[in-house]
Amino acid sequence: MHTRLAVRFWQLGIEMRPFLAQPWIYPIYASLGAGVGYYLQGVEEGQMRYLRETRDRLLEKRRRRAEKGLNGNVGTEYQREQEGLFASPKAVVESG
């Protein structure tokens, strides 16, 4: 289904014909696209907030464990050498 639709748009583009029959439909589709984009931006912000909160909880848990002297698993070798969301905190790696 998607392939046929893409081929039809390609064909109309080559013919330099408008995709939609009435010009007043374009603002409606533009506003629908903007609405979907706004919604997806909110979804992305929510996911990033969840990831930040999870990362902060894990880092706090690792810090408390390091203070108690229970270093245990401080991540893989790759995580010890990297920066970012899944990296091991430097304080835990250096003391462990």
pLDDT (tens digit, 9 = 90+) per residue, 8-58?
Answer: 888 877 877 776 778 888 899 899 999 999 999 999 999 999 999 999 999
DSSP per-residue string spanning the chain: -HHHHHHHHHHHHHTT--SSSSTTHHHHHHHHHHHHHHHHHHHHHHHHHHHHHHHHHHHHHHHHHHHHT-------HHHHH--STTPPPHHHHHH-
Q: Is residue 72 in some structural domain?
A: yes
pLDDT at 93 over 50: no
Q: Mean of the pLDDT values across residues 75-85? A: 65
Residue 15: inside a domain, yes or no? no
- Please give the pLDDT value at position 91: 53
Structural domains in the chain (count): 1
Position 73 scores a pLDDT of 62
Range of the domain at 40: 25-95
Instruction: With respect to residue 87, please indicate whether it lies within any of the assigned structural domains.
Output: yes
pTM: 0.50
Domain contains 53: yes
36 in a structural domain? yes
Evaluate whether residue 38 is within a structural domain: yes
89 against 8, higher pLDDT? 8
